[in-house]
Amino acid sequence: MNLKQLSELLGLSQTTVSRALNGYPEVNEATRERVLRAVKETGYRPNKAAQRLATGKAGSIGLVMPTAPGHQSDVHFGEFLTGLGEEAVRHDFHFVIMPADPDDEVAALRRLAISGNVDALFVAYMRGHDPRLAMLKSLSMPFVVHGRSFGTEPDYPYLDIDNEAAFNDATRLLLQLGHTRFALMNGPAHLDFAIRRRNGVVAALSERGLELAEDCTTHSVMSDEEGLIAMERFLQLPERPTAILCSSTVLALGAIRAVNQAGLKLGEDISLIAHDDVLPLLKPENFSVPLTTTRSSLRAAGVRIAQRLIGTVKQAGPFPEHELWKTELIVRASTGPAPQD
Amino acid sequence: MNLKQLSELLGLSQTTVSRALNGYPEVNEATRERVLRAVKETGYRPNKAAQRLATGKAGSIGLVMPTAPGHQSDVHFGEFLTGLGEEAVRHDFHFVIMPADPDDEVAALRRLAISGNVDALFVAYMRGHDPRLAMLKSLSMPFVVHGRSFGTEPDYPYLDIDNEAAFNDATRLLLQLGHTRFALMNGPAHLDFAIRRRNGVVAALSERGLELAEDCTTHSVMSDEEGLIAMERFLQLPERPTAILCSSTVLALGAIRAVNQAGLKLGEDISLIAHDDVLPLLKPENFSVPLTTTRSSLRAAGVRIAQRLIGTVKQAGPFPEHELWKTELIVRASTGPAPQD
DNA sequence: TTGGTGTGTCAAAGCGCTTTGAAATTTCCT
DNA sequence: AGGAAATTTCAAAGCGCTTTGACACACCAA
């Protein structure tokens, strides 16, 4: 069933039917009713491709999903997507997801944008000096970035959490508890959040004249295996750290396994603070020793970004260009006073 | 940059340029080269919406993502999507994801199909007597179902794992170990896999004249919280079960927490077998007591379904209509002989 | 009666692509 | 050299929708 058939069925022109459907004022209420009834009966739905071609809009948000044969699926991605979806469903928006090799992201994003089947773009996994920004700005298509790009002028719309403050606060807490030997288990070194979190830690430490040692910093994919490996390395250090900052509860999962295997007690021998994205599967309060965390819901960020994206497409703005969310520091049992040795 | 502009630039007609691009034989090699070079220089990309309108195809797979404000994100969904993506990226296919309230899935699927921006559909979270099947069959659009629909004639293309055999085997193993009091921690009762798994357990038990008690069966969303609650209930039973079958490692996560909190030993006081979808975050071998599991990779299923879907769209078939994968039963430390009491 | 003002409806153009059927050009054979 | 066959290119139609500009028609004031 297409517009032409529907209009013939009704004995009206395509124009009138289209206007009736799209809520234009210049159509008789009785006619509109009649059209709407026919739509319900026939189950007619406008062809989105045609609609898009005609209007340039079709109610869709585009995003790139990093993927590759060896590439591990990322719970953070799914959680964020759920947030986007929660908002999108309210506006009858859908997503166009372009899977792409992580090394090919800028090209993939470009293809997605000029493919002409999205109205707006969402971009994540930001890097320092991210090359996608220049491309995005040249595109004249609305976009919102999750995160920021360290080293780039922040003249683009973003939503980010205050990573630096989060890890600064966490470090301060551990300092107050008397810790002096710190380690940071971070995400991939080129990612923006990793850079900022590290800076937060370093700044807090340097206030007390302390430094973050090279061998007390790891950068890796955020999987539990990597957490385990990193922690095992820390524990073998001659002066082993007593305070661990951890960029994700996923890493913490592995890290804690290592702590247990070494026969150490979390919250006593080792204090640990992890960043909590509020993943349903990894509730910090459900760890055998509940985790002290910096918290910010990834899903909530997804909802908000969808709001801004959809709002911009629908011209329902204005929206703030920049949002920087504070994280909460929630103290549980994984942190305690520095052990006396 | 569009076709018209590009062809003017080259001094060729749109037809010739289009043919050159799409690999038609009736265009001079030299001309093709020239076109290709111009494409590279200008960065021209055909507008997908127009392409779809003209051809009816645009290289996309549609799927519905269940979502709602309270609805918990599902790691299984993300893992499967990763599999789909891994294959899709090889063929330059993308996804159109329509978020929808779980109660609205059939309507959402229908909208997605007739919206005219997907070439094929993927359907999951199958239920017994699933109402989507009739609709899909009436649609004349390729689709593949992940799972099956209990109680419906299997005259639709699917890929499924042999849930019944998996749980039958698992139950048999526990029977051999001398267990007589069984419990099943299952997924939502209306879902196909839950029905079949239950059947597998019941069949194995009845061979020994045993029954699966009503109060030893739970159906719930597969979250760790629900696992915890279910296990706590089991443990309070007057004749508490010693053998637990568990539909997911996610449920097992909570279940084991309950076992620990009760001061019981997994693999001694309680034996547990879980189904393992090979989620990167929940490796059975990384549990404090490594888990005996029935295993089948969700991601691999995603890859395979994407192959079939894309292959069908590209007419690169034929593909088997039905695939039923066997699961592996992998024995680790969470199962042991029934305790003598 | 004439002219102006809304209303409600329509035919036709256009979005950017593919594809059909025909025309122009080259190549091959006798 | 001359005509048939093969090769290369083209103009135009069509995919399903929105939107522009025009056209009837009724209504009221002058």
Q: pLDDT tens digits for B53-107?
A: 999 888 999 999 999 888 888 899 999 999 999 999 999 999 999 999 988 999 9
Residue B27's pLDDT band (cuts 50, 70, 90): confident
Distance, CA of A227 to CA of B323 (rounded, Å): 37
pLDDT of A315 higher than 90: no
Mean pLDDT calculated for residue range B328-340: 94
A-interface mutation test, from B86, B93, B117, B277, most A Cβ less than 10 A away: B117
B85·A79 Cβ contact <8 A: no
- Residue type at A339 in one-letter notation: P
pLDDT of B341 higher than 80: no
CATH for the stretch A3-46: 1.10.260.40
Provide the pLDDT for residue A296: 97
Mean pLDDT calculated for residue range B106-110: 92
Residue A178's pLDDT band (cuts 50, 70, 90): very high
Mean pLDDT calculated for residue range B273-277: 97
pLDDT of A2 higher than 90: no
Provide the pLDDT for residue B318: 87
pLDDT of A107 higher than 80: yes
Residue B217's pLDDT band (cuts 50, 70, 90): very high
Mean pLDDT calculated for residue range B293-315: 95
Residue A24's pLDDT band (cuts 50, 70, 90): confident
A138 touches strand C (CB under 7 A): no
Distance, CA of A242 to CA of A250 (rounded, Å): 20
User: Please, what is the average pLDDT of chain B?
Assistant: 93
List chain A domain ranges: 3-46, 60-160+299-325, 163-297
Taking the C1' atom of every nucleotide in all shown strands and the CA of A56, the nearest one is C15
Structure tokens at A210: 């302390």
Fold of B60-161+299-325: Rossmann fold (3.40.50)
Taking the C1' atom of every nucleotide in all shown strands and the CA of A7, the nearest one is C10
Burial class (CB in 10 A: 0-12, 13-18, 19+), A319: middle
Strands B158-161 and B322-325: parallel
Beta carbons of B84 and B305 less than 8 angstroms apart: yes
Beta carbons of A150 and A195 less than 8 angstroms apart: yes
A-interface mutation test, from B281, B304, B309, most A Cβ less than 10 A away: B281
Nearest to A117 by CA among A64, A65, A61: A61
Taking the C1' atom of every nucleotide in all shown strands and the CA of A14, the nearest one is C10
B266 touches strand D (CB under 7 A): no
Provide the pLDDT for residue A316: 83
A3 touches strand D (CB under 7 A): yes
Provide the pLDDT for residue B29: 85
Residue B190's pLDDT band (cuts 50, 70, 90): very high
A51 touches strand C (CB under 7 A): no
pLDDT of A181 higher than 90: yes
Cα of B307 to nearest chain A Cα, Å = 14
CA distances from A210 to A37, A175, A235, B134 (A): 73, 10, 20, 68
Residue B11's pLDDT band (cuts 50, 70, 90): confident
Structure tokens at B340: 């003598």
pLDDT > 70 in chain B, percent: 100
Nearest to B308 by CA among B88, B51, B52, B58: B88
Nearest to A49 by CA among A2, A17, A13: A2
pLDDT of A100 higher than 90: yes
Provide the pLDDT for residue B340: 84
Which B residues, 272 through 331, put their C-beta within 8 Å of a C-beta on chain A?
280-283, 286, 288, 299
List helix spans (H) across B43-74.
Answer: 48-55
Beta carbons of B210 and B179 less than 8 angstroms apart: no
Chain D: bases < 7 Å from a protein Cβ: 7-12, 14-21
Provide the pLDDT for residue B25: 83
Strand partners, A63: A97, A122
Residue B30's pLDDT band (cuts 50, 70, 90): confident
Residues B167-184 have pLDDT tens digits of: 999 999 999 999 999 999
A60–chain B Cβ distance below 8 A for any pair: yes
Nearest to B162 by CA among B309, B273, B275: B275
Mean pLDDT calculated for residue range A59-76: 91
| Closest chain B residue by Cα to residue A79 | B73
CA dihedral B205, B242, B165, B278 (to 10 degrees): 170
Residue A318: asked if its preceding bond is cis (omega within 30°), the reply is yes
Distance, CA of A216 to CA of A237 (rounded, Å): 9
- Minimum-distance CB partner of B257 among A86, A250, A286: A286
Residues A130-155 have pLDDT tens digits of: 999 999 998 889 999 999 999 999 99
Q: CATH assignment of A60-160+299-325, given 3.40.50.970, 1.10.10.10, 3.40.50.2300, 3.30.450.20?
A: 3.40.50.2300
Distance, CA of B1 to CA of B148 (rounded, Å): 46
Taking the C1' atom of every nucleotide in all shown strands and the CA of A54, the nearest one is C15
Mean pLDDT calculated for residue range B255-268: 94
B338: number of Cβ within 10 Å: 16
CA dihedral B30, B35, B41, B45 (to 10 degrees): -150
Provide the pLDDT for residue A325: 98
Sign of CA dihedral A282, A121, A99, A219: negative
Which three-class secondary structure state does DSSP give residue A144? Answer: strand
Chain C: bases < 7 Å from a protein Cβ: 7-12, 14-21
pLDDT of B1 higher than 90: no
- Residue type at A163 in one-letter notation: N
Distance, CA of B121 to CA of B141 (rounded, Å): 7
Chain B residues lying within 8 Å of A52, measured CB to CB: 49
Mean pLDDT calculated for residue range B243-249: 97
Taking the C1' atom of every nucleotide in all shown strands and the CA of A21, the nearest one is D18
CA dihedral B53, B58, B61, B66 (to 10 degrees): -50
pLDDT > 90 in chain A, percent: 79
Q: Which of residues 32-51 of B touch strand D (CB under 7 A)?
A: 50
- Minimum-distance CB partner of B97 among A95, A260, A288: A95
Q: Which residues contact A233 (CB under 8 A, 6 or more apart)?
A: A215, A218
DSSP B72: P
Distance, CA of B67 to CA of A88 (rounded, Å): 10
Beta carbons of A10 and A17 less than 8 angstroms apart: yes
Provide the pLDDT for residue A1: 84
Provide the pLDDT for residue A212: 94
Fold of A163-297: Rossmann fold (3.40.50)
B251–chain A Cβ distance below 8 A for any pair: no
Residue B120's pLDDT band (cuts 50, 70, 90): very high
Q: Do domains A3-46 and A60-160+299-325 have the same CATH topology?
A: no
Mean pLDDT calculated for residue range B203-215: 95
DSSP A186: E
- Minimum-distance CB partner of A99 among B75, B78, B88: B88
Provide the pLDDT for residue A70: 85
Provide the pLDDT for residue A197: 97
B57–chain A Cβ distance below 8 A for any pair: no
Structure tokens at A265: 């007690």
A112–chain B Cβ distance below 8 A for any pair: yes
